[in-house]
């Protein structure tokens, strides 16, 4: 059930696009109103912790535009020695061999933020200035305070491939290279110059909590080269329909980034955009918050319009991130917001990856499910927009979230089972079709499957000839369908681990691991086998 909408009346918001909601909120929460609410809130929560985000200096701009270096926001000024950075998260640039993006957060404004980087922890002489992107969230309801958040980003280019670097983040008064700060240093490794065996992990629908944290720690044990997050990151927005509500709490992002830091400070955390990641207050397309918090590859069709759309190549694997909000029939708030530009870019990118002699496999990830039978089922919008392109360019693996379960299909070709892929089997996308994985068990409350539909996974196989399900059609209609492609189903917290091997027999060894560390599925993708 949707949460009552305080920022915009629910009946009005139900038919509004993201730009319409943004304009409505901006008009309603004028600078005068925002300031008045912020001062009142600051007085009410004067004893709250720094991360509570009380703000007596709201500016009402709300956008993620960069602030000039060293310019503090609001009247709160604290000695930099007392302000500790947190929430570090890495991401590749467009070329993971030579580019890394380092992002972090501070609870209060600081001056002259920077990154130190070097080959050894005692050799951090190189100092790179950071960009400040601040977000102001007004008190959109009487239940929550106004919030000021400060995100910092540094772009590292010209790095050496296959090299481990040490880094520290700081600002005036907080030098990570000083002896007392050495424990705060992090590391990262650039992609190798030539393909080699590596592991990457993936999941979606994480949120904040014990299960989410446990999943993070378990996947860290896989020593992944990078992690793919298929959207619905922290659930600061609980509605998921692209609506501002009285439960939207920007402070949840503070908790999420603090939770994620233990992994993301050393493993590039490559995210895309889910329906819960649309936040109307910050920008007309709902993605101003994402642009403020994350630095992702800017080689998509328009990084400002769709920051969760990009691509990179690591070793022999080409990865493509997409924004399914643009094409979803289920959740229409942002449908069509790219006016077809994303799909045109996708075709060009898939064509280029298939023409790259060093790319053996193409992996695509996005939020809404192409094929699933759990609560949200399948989205006919993503099928209509992208299935033909995936088939034409023989995508090898598609990873989705949205449904809070693990579900894996057989190889699907032309909308039907091209080849059954039981647990432990091998499949060839050039002959059999594409395997689709729903990996939505990252930590948020779990879903289930339909009445009488049992889990079926490694160690407990319960094959079914067919399952009665549906897909979302135009007009948010349920289109019933009976499917034969649901091969593996697991109702539990889990994530995907993929080992990519290059050489004479390149392959992807795909495994799903439960919260206990137990494997619940595995299969192999080998082209031309």
Cα–Cα distance, 235 to 349 (Å, whole number): 30
Tell me if 528 sits within 8 A of 504, measured CB to CB. Answer: no
Tell me if 113 sits within 8 A of 69, measured CB to CB. Answer: yes
Cα–Cα distance, 89 to 260 (Å, whole number): 8
- Other beta carbons within 10 angstroms of residue 37's beta carbon come to 20
Let me know how long the chain is. 529
Cα–Cα distance, 19 to 286 (Å, whole number): 8
In order, the DSSP letters of 126-172 are EEEE-EEEEEEE---STTS--EEEEEEEEEE-SPPTT-EEEEEEEBT
In the three-class reduction of DSSP (H, G, I as helix; E, B as strand; rest coil), residue 202 is classed as strand
Q: Is 309-525 in the same CATH topology as 1-193+232-271+273-299?
A: no
Per-residue pLDDT tens, the chain, 529 aa: give them: 333 333 455 455 556 888 877 877 777 775 434 443 333 333 222 222 222 222 222 233 333 444 433 444 454 668 999 999 999 999 999 999 999 999 999 999 999 999 999 999 999 989 999 999 999 998 877 888 899 999 999 999 999 999 999 999 999 999 999 999 988 999 999 999 999 999 999 999 999 999 999 999 999 999 999 999 999 999 999 888 876 667 789 999 999 999 999 999 999 999 999 999 999 889 989 999 999 999 999 999 999 999 999 999 999 999 999 999 999 999 999 999 999 999 999 999 999 999 999 999 999 999 999 999 999 999 999 999 999 999 999 999 999 999 999 999 999 998 999 999 999 999 999 999 999 999 999 999 999 999 999 999 999 999 999 999 999 999 999 999 999 999 999 999 999 999 999 999 999 999 999 999 999 999 999 998 7
Q: Is 217 exposed, middle or buried (0-12, 13-18, 19+ CB in 10 A)?
A: exposed
Strand duo 406-409 + 397-400: pairing: unpaired
Token output for 388:
């033909």
Q: Of 319, 308, 82, which is closest to residue 200 (Cα–Cα)?
A: 319
Strand duo 131-137 + 66-67: pairing: antiparallel
Cα–Cα distance, 521 to 459 (Å, whole number): 9
Q: Of 116, 121, 251, 267, which is closest to residue 190 (Cα–Cα)?
A: 267
Cα–Cα distance, 362 to 347 (Å, whole number): 13
Angle between helices 252-264 and 210-220 (to 10 degrees): 20
Tell me if 340 sits within 8 A of 246, measured CB to CB. Answer: no
Q: Of 328, 475, 484, which is closest to residue 411 (Cα–Cα)?
A: 484
Residues with Cβ within 8 Å of residue 131, at least 6 apart in sequence: 66, 69, 152, 153, 154, 155
pTM, whole model, 2 decimals?
Answer: 0.90
Indicate the domain borders of the chain.
Answer: 1-193+232-271+273-299, 309-525
| Residue 72 pLDDT | 42
Architecture of the domain spanning 309-525: 4-Layer Sandwich (3.60)
| Alpha-carbon distances, residue 259 vs 202, 263, 268 (angstroms) | 17, 9, 15
Fold of 1-193+232-271+273-299: Immunoglobulin-like (2.60.40)
Token output for 119:
């080959």
Radius of gyration of the chain (CA): 23
In the three-class reduction of DSSP (H, G, I as helix; E, B as strand; rest coil), residue 345 is classed as helix
- Other beta carbons within 10 angstroms of residue 416's beta carbon come to 11
Largest Cα–Cα distance in the chain?
Answer: 68
Q: Of 290, 482, 299, which is closest to residue 377 (Cα–Cα)?
A: 482
Residue 258, φ and ψ in degrees, nearest 5: -65, -40
Q: Of 417, 496, 477, 8, which is closest to residue 219 (Cα–Cα)?
A: 496
């Amino acid at each position: 059930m949707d949460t009552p909408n305080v920022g915009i009346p629910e009946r009005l918001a139900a038919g509004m696009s993201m730009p319409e909601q943004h304009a409505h909120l901006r008009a309603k929460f004028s600078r005068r109103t925002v300031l008045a609410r912020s001062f009142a809130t600051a007085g009410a929560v004067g004893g709250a912790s720094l991360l509570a985000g009380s703000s007596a200096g709201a500016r009402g701009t709300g956008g993620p535009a960069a602030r000039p270096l060293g310019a503090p926001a609001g009247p709160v000024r604290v000695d930099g020695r007392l302000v500790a950075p947190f929430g570090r998260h890495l991401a590749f640039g467009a070329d993971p061999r030579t580019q890394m993006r380092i992002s972090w957060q501070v609870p209060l404004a600081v001056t002259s933020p920077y990154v130190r980087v070097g080959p050894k922890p005692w050799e951090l002489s190189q100092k790179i200035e950071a960009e400040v992107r601040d977000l102001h969230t007004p008190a959109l309801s009487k239940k929550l305070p106004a919030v000021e958040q400060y995100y910092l980003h540094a772009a590292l280019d010209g790095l050496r491939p296959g090299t481990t670097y040490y880094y520290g983040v700081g600002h005036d008064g907080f030098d990570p290279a000083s002896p007392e700060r050495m424990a705060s240093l992090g590391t990262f490794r650039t992609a190798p110059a030539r393909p080699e065996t590596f592991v990457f992990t993936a999941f979606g629908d994480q949120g904040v909590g014990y299960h989410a944290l446990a999943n993070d720690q378990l996947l860290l044990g896989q020593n992944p080269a990078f992690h793919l997050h298929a959207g619905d990151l922290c659930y600061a927005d609980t509605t998921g329909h692209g609506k501002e509500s009285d439960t939207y709490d920007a402070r949840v992002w503070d908790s999420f980034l603090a939770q994620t830091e233990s992994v993301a400070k050393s493993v590039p955390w490559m995210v895309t955009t889910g329906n819960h990641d649309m936040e109307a207050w910050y920008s007309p397309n709902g993605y101003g918050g994402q642009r403020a918090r994350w630095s992702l590859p800017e080689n998509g069709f328009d990084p400002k319009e769709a920051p969760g759309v990009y691509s990179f190549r690591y070793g022999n694997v080409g990865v493509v991130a997409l924004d399914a909000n643009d094409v979803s029939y289920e959740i229409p708030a942002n449908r069509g917001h790219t006016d077809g530009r994303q799909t045109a870019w996708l075709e060009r990118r898939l064509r280029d990856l298939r023409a790259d002699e060093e790319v053996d496999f193409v992996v695509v990830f996005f939020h809404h499910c192409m094929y699933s039978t759990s609560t949200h089922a399948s989205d006919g919008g993503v099928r209509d927009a992208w299935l033909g392109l995936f088939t034409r360019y023989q995508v090898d693996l598609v990873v989705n979230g949205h449904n809070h379960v693990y579900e894996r299909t057989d190889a699907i070709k032309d909308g039907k089972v091209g080849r059954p892929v039981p647990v432990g089997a091998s499949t060839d996308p050039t002959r059999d079709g594409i395997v689709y994985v729903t990996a939505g068990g990252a930590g948020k409350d779990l879903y289930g499957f339909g009445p009488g539909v049992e889990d079926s996974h490694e160690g407990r196989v319960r094959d079914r000839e067919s399952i009665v399900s549906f897909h979302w059609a135009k007009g948010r209609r349920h289109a019933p369908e009976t499917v034969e492609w649901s091969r593996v189903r697991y109702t539990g917290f889990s994530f995907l681990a993929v080992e990519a091997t290059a050489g004479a027999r390149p392959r992807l060894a795909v495994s799903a691991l439960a919260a206990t560390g137990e494997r619940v599925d595995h299969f192999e993708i080998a082209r031309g086998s």
